Chains A and B, each alone.
Chain A
Amino acid sequence: MIGGQAIHIADVWCIFEHTSGKKVEALRDVSIDILPGQFVCLVGRSGHGKSTLLRAIGGLNALTAGEIQVGERNVIGPSAERGMVFQDDTVFPWMRVRDNVEFGLKSQPIGAEEQRRIANEWLERVDLVDFADSWPKELSGGMRKRVVLATVFATGANILLMDEPFGSLDYVTRLILHSLLLDLWRSTEHTILFVTHDVEEALILADRILVMSHGRIVDDIIVDLERPRDEEIRAKPEAVRIIKTIGQHLGLGPVKRAHEQRRDDAIIAV
């Protein structure tokens, strides 16, 4: 399926109560619109609401107030139209790779042969055909991430919610997976929301970077750099300005908005 859906987030609050009775405002009045097919990175420090927002869109966290809409419908729970990739390894170890990829398809009204065909297609696209009959324990961490990617793409979710998916991988594996993910995104045009604390990673991937701090979205940066975003591109003045702005938001000095640091047409800070 080609294309993604828009996500409309309006006045969302998420307040948790710890067992100690302490209340935590994980999301404070978050409103944002994400366009169909956009690759959006959510950056921020740990514990500042990125994962909470992502899980809320996934339907895994209840909202205290506000609403989240996908397409025209309110999000009330998890659904196969919003695939999630977690930081932890979620590949089911008790299923072979192929059964993992087919897992989501099994809940859909399609025949076994069609399921197999779709699974094979995605296994091919993540370059795991030769491992279709392997057990997950026989794969490396990076390969298991590719299994998850194949699974969520095969299931047909047109919104992908990724919670620091490559956080535990080594540098090279992460770069390889970045380009794989970008390839898959380009060919499917799905909407992707990608949480990361790594500003560099956000710069490689995103059309648009949302900066979160203390439960709020404090900046919304359009990244209008050409792709692929190799080292030269990321060293361009506009890229460096984005990195600086994000760093300031995250506590590395007083915030000077991008337009104050010399407004560039390519960078629109809201």
Chain B
Amino acid sequence: MSDKAETAASRGWLTVAAARGLPQWLDPVPILGIGATLGLWYLASWAIGLYMPAPHQVFADAFRNFASSDYFMGLGLPAGGFVPHLAYTTTTVLIGVGIGVVLGCLSGISSARWRTADRIMDPIMSTFGTVPILVAAPFFLIWFGLVGAAQVILVSFYATVIMHIYSLQAVRNLHPRYIEYAMTLGADQSTIFFRVTLPGAMPEIFGGVRVAFASAWGLAAIAELLGSRYGVGYAVLTLEVVYDVSNIMAIIIYLGVLALIMDLFIARFRQFATRWAETGKTR
């Protein structure tokens, strides 16, 4: 029996698609979920009316204004439709999380290794990490808004905190027996770090990367909402002035799809990078 069929059997009748060898996306359960959502959406749009556009209207707007839009230009937005905003926010997220992963891992791993580093970093991370973004954003906008870096720095700030916590825990959770074993095999400190500590911590660090990305999309959009000339948040703000709910929903759906694609990409990469791990640990 193949693995697929086995999982299917253990989940009962629900994974009909898997049991018949059909691709995952044909699985009736998620399709049922999407269908129910659309149904409720239609119901809500029928009940609420103008400010709750029906799915087909939203999708029509999403396609119409995707890569070019005179309508957007009329609102003072760039003529390229949704694309420039999505590209701007995606860039913010990628750079912000990129910086956050580097800084967060540096501080997290050094905190796990050196008591002094932990004593310095812990209060900083635990206080700043709890500052709500709506409180932190104005400061960042005042400090970095003029150079257009406020959004990136804000995202990297929160990503750093997340990665600090995850990488610190990842190194701490690594069983000391691996380190001891490596020492009795004659390995020096740098060998132990690069060939034992780091790879051993990798599955949990990837978990952190995933969380950082998941929260980064929202953070970037909020930061743009509060003051930016581009990005998904800025587009939402502009469309809100003319009560264009349909296009707001369209761009939010695009943002969600981007986040989903990114998550799938990370999951794939993690699956490869930690292919040595027992499946229970990679999930």
> Interface of A with B (CB < 8 Å)?
58-60, 77-80, 82-84, 86, 88, 90, 92-95, 103-104, 106-108, 135-137, 151-152, 155, 157, 161
Contact = CB atoms under 8 A, between A and B. Distances in A.
Contact of A90 (B181, B186, B274): B181
Q: Which of A78, A135, A151 has the most CB of B within 10 A?
A: A78
Contacts, number: 75
Nearest to A77: B183
B177 A107 contact: no
Contacts of A79: 184, 186
B28 interface: no
Interface of B: 175, 177-178, 180-188, 191, 195-196, 199-200, 202, 274-278
Dominant secondary structure of chain A at its interface with chain B: loop
Contact of B186 (A86, A104, A137, A161): A104
Contacts of A92: 178, 195-196, 199-200
A157 B183 CA distance: 12
A108 B177 contact: no
Contacts of B191: 106-107
A80 B182 CA distance: 9
Q: Which of B182, B185, B199 has the most CB of A within 10 A?
A: B185
A88 B186 CA distance: 19
Q: Which 10 A-B pairs have the closest CB atoms?
A: A80-B186, A104-B185, A78-B183, A90-B181, A94-B199, A84-B184, A107-B186, A94-B276, A78-B184, A135-B276
A58 B184 contact: yes
B188 A107 contact: yes
24 contacts: A59-B183, A60-B180, A60-B184, A79-B186, A80-B184, A82-B184, A84-B180, A86-B180, A90-B177, A90-B178, A92-B178, A92-B196, A92-B200, A93-B277, A93-B278, A94-B276, A95-B199, A95-B276, A103-B182, A104-B186, A136-B276, A137-B278, A151-B185, A152-B185
